[in-house]
Amino acid sequence: MPDESDIKVIEAGYLRWMLRANPFAYLSSESLEEVKEVHVDTDIDEKLADILDKVIRDGEKRLIFLVGEFGTGKTHRLRLIGEILEEASTFYVKIDVDDFNTAIYRIAHVVKSGIPAKLLKRRIPKDPDQLMEIIVDELNSYDLAVLLLDEVENVVVFGTRKDAELFSKAISRIFQGLNGGKAIVIGCIPPAYDIMKRLIDVPHEKIEMRRLSPAEASRILKKRLEYYRALMNKEARDFGLDEPFTEDLVIKMNEMAGGNPRKLMKLARNVLAMLTKELRESGKLSKEKVLQIVKSADEGKETPPEGGILEEKVPDGLKEEFDALRKRFPPGTSFSLLEASRVWGLKLIEANALISELMREGLVYKTETGRYSIKGSKI
């Protein structure tokens, strides 16, 4: 684990590529204020745009499913819709609960978000039928409106069978009640879609997320690097600097990631951190060394066993943040999102994304009280 002086040197090492820090530290699109700044269009976006154009231009209504495994870009697309559809009112709802009643209440709460909080509590009933009417009436009050539902598998797959049935039927009922110029876009994993398609009784369209091609992987990595540049690319070229990822390296990384965008970002995060460290220590990189680094970065996806942290299993791209957090809140203590954000000097949304990555790596867990703790002992 690097000490404080070592971390500062590693940070400075990123300047070799005119970067402030590792641009792949935050894998989730939720950590970005705007996803459109790092977005790269693919044929998936063309299909989605064609359908939404019928809603915006022709006044049709559509129910669309974005179906793909974790990390394939579903949340990214939902957020992108909210950012670029200036003509329509958009409502993004993350379904992070596993019961029907709470899920419907969350949706109603979001579509009624224009009402002050105190009045909102008095105006939103608990009865699901009334909540569905509120959702329909509110969306129909706009000429153009798009409801964006993310991670519905939490209620459809991880909830009870009854919850899945009620939620699916509710989506059908809400869609049937909508006027033209409205759309519901749902992001989910394949098992959730397989359940819902059998339960909904309205026409819908399915867009399958797919693996990235090597060319798309290269464009995505370059776009993310450009976004986090400390200096403009032209100035970087004037210094005679090379990009950290060659074409051959991108092809290899995308192959190892299986074309999954999130896995590619994770691999890029670890590889860039390890390349920077190696350059600092040896001052040069051979092709053999680069391939060794890529292999090591991919192997770093293992999570430590229950009861302890294996330091060598902490991805290089997260070591600095994890070290700072563990120093302030060692195993046996707990911390809140706000406390973590203060340790890192990040915005709450960025800190939340970083904690999510640490949890995925098995380094941090959520306690029964809703706080967080470094893995190693229970609170």
pLDDT mean over 350-365: 81
CA distance 188 to 78: 11
Per-residue pLDDT band at 120 (split at 50, 70, 90)? very low
Give pLDDT, residue 139: 95
Give pLDDT, residue 119: 40
Enter the pTM of the model.
0.71
Give pLDDT, residue 283: 67
Give pLDDT, residue 31: 62
Give pLDDT, residue 379: 37
pLDDT mean over 269-293: 72
CA distance 169 to 150: 17
More confident residue, 229 or 129: 129
SS3 184: strand
Give pLDDT, residue 192: 94
From edge to edge, which strands make up the β-sheet containing 89-94? 89-94, 145-150, 182-188, 62-67, 205-208
Place of tokens 């949706």: 107
CB 271 within 8 A of CB 14: no
Give pLDDT, residue 191: 93
- Across all residues in the chain, what is the average pLDDT? 80
Query: Among 57-71, 124-138, 268-282, 336-350, which range has the highest average pLDDT?
Result: 57-71
Give pLDDT, residue 242: 59
User: What percent of the chain clears pLDDT 90, i.e. is strictly above it?
Assistant: 30
CA distance 103 to 355: 24
Condensed to tens digits (0 to 9), the pLDDT of residues 222-266 reads: 888 887 775 444 554 454 445 778 788 888 888 888 889 888 888
